[in-house]
Structure 1
Amino acid sequence: MEQSIRTQPPGPRRRPPAGAGEAAAVPGPATPPDARTAVPKLRLPPPLRAKLQARLRARTKGRSGPPARLTAVGTGVLALVGALAVAAVDRLLFGGLGWLFGLGYLVLCFQLAVRVRLADLPAAPISGPIAFALALLCFGPASVPGVTGQVVALASGLALRAGWLFTGTGLAVLIVAARFLAQRRIRRSRSS
């Protein structure tokens, strides 16, 4: 003979009357409802626990780790948008590209060189001059229409502002070289 292991008759379960606890509705061990649904605590080794607590404290203080870095594409986009914005403001305020555009280009080159990722370091000194030339092409003085007129206007604009161009590009090259050498020293000290 086979014995049934069911404890309730087949069919829908009856609901307990209002005010009755959950324990009466579900047969089983008498455990409080909170204990059945509570998530067990994870026990971490002390060094790992201390490391996680230090990270949590650093994030709550407003510091969320290393600053966000730009990729090569992000560096190019930021250089182009920044150079065009500074050129537009300079043209709007002073009627042409002058010292405001040059100073804006220096600040832009500094920011690009400082914020670019280590893997994309060459992007900072390359994207700055390209953005400089495109800003000159878009906001430079009006010239003779046609391709030849645009080329002549761009060449004369680059020649007249060569000091700003070389200073900003040189600044970016120096910062990128210093970051590269510092990273190389760190890698050598870790490997030895």
Structure 2
Amino acid sequence: MSRISRGNLEYELDRASNADLMQASALIAESMLENPFNEWLFPEVASRRDRTSSYYNLLLRHHYIPNGICEIIRHQSRVVGISVWHLPAKWKIPESTSSAILEEVRDLFDSNLFEVGRGIREIESKHPQFPHLYAGLTVVAPEMQGTGLGSILYGTLLTYADEHNLPIYLELTRERDQSWIKGLGFEVTGEIDIADGPTLWTCLRLPTPS
């Protein structure tokens, strides 16, 4: 764990554990409530927050924390930011994990399961064929966006990428985030138009020589 100051506020940057599941999944649900991609995942407004929280709790517990690099930022013991990234060839959920969580996933997506599965496969097919780090998720509490916490969360990933000479790949779910991600050295490389769903923007950052 490391302590970070921004203005007159103190934060803690730490690796996430299962003890953080409830706060982290609730934060993701709050931050993504009106995100176009999340609206496509869970079209029913009344249940969207609860389903989103349950879905990401599942992913955190079974994939993000055990198989990825999952970091959180705390402020006064509250989780206010989270990021998840994966090493090369580690980003895809293992088949054994998919089988273990299948029933819970079915319950969450209900009649939307086939459409979501088709869209996810389309997204996965766009991953680069060369070794790359994958930045799968970064969210900051809505009231703290624009304070630099997102850049803090990307810090470990960018450092690792440059030290190991690896590119970073990600998908943006909101067009307005392009200028911010370009400020971290990414280029927008293409679009993914999900059938009957939202548009995503693929982005790539090449390593920066030291």
Q: Per the shorter chain, which TM-score range?
A: under 0.3
Return the TM-score normalized by structure 1.
0.27
Determine which structure has the larger helix proportion and give its number. 1
Return the TM-score normalized by structure 2.
0.25
Q: Indicate the structure (1 or 2) with the bigger Cα radius of gyration.
A: 1
Determine which structure has the larger strand proportion and give its number. 2
